[in-house]
Amino acid sequence: MDSGAKIQVNVNINKENRSVKIDFSGTSKQLNSNFTAPKAETHAAVLYVFRNLAKDYIPLNAACLNP
C-alpha cells in the first residue's frame, strides 16, 4: 500500500472437517486512517470471496461462518 502497510493472508483448508482458517498474522498494525477495516468488515470481505468462488449458494448469515 502507499503508506507502506502490508496485508498478508494465509489460507488453510481442512477437507476432513470441511473448514477453512484465514490467518492475517503478519499484516501491519491498525492505521490511524480510513484504510483500517474492523473485524465485521474483514469477515464480510472474506465471505464475499468465498461466495464468489463457490459453485453453490452460500447464505448471508452468521452460521455460514461457523465452518
Helix (H) or strand (E) holding 21: strand 19-23
Asked if 1 contacts 7 with a C-beta cutoff of 8 angstroms, the reply is yes
pLDDT at 1: 62
65 Cβ neighbours under 8 A, 6+ residues apart: 43, 47
State yes or no: pLDDT of 2 exceeds 90.
no
5-58 tens-digit pLDDT = 888 899 999 999 888 899 999 888 887 777 777 888 888 888 888 888 888 887
Q: Where are the beta strands (DSSP E) in the chain?
A: 10-14, 19-23
pLDDT at 67: 65
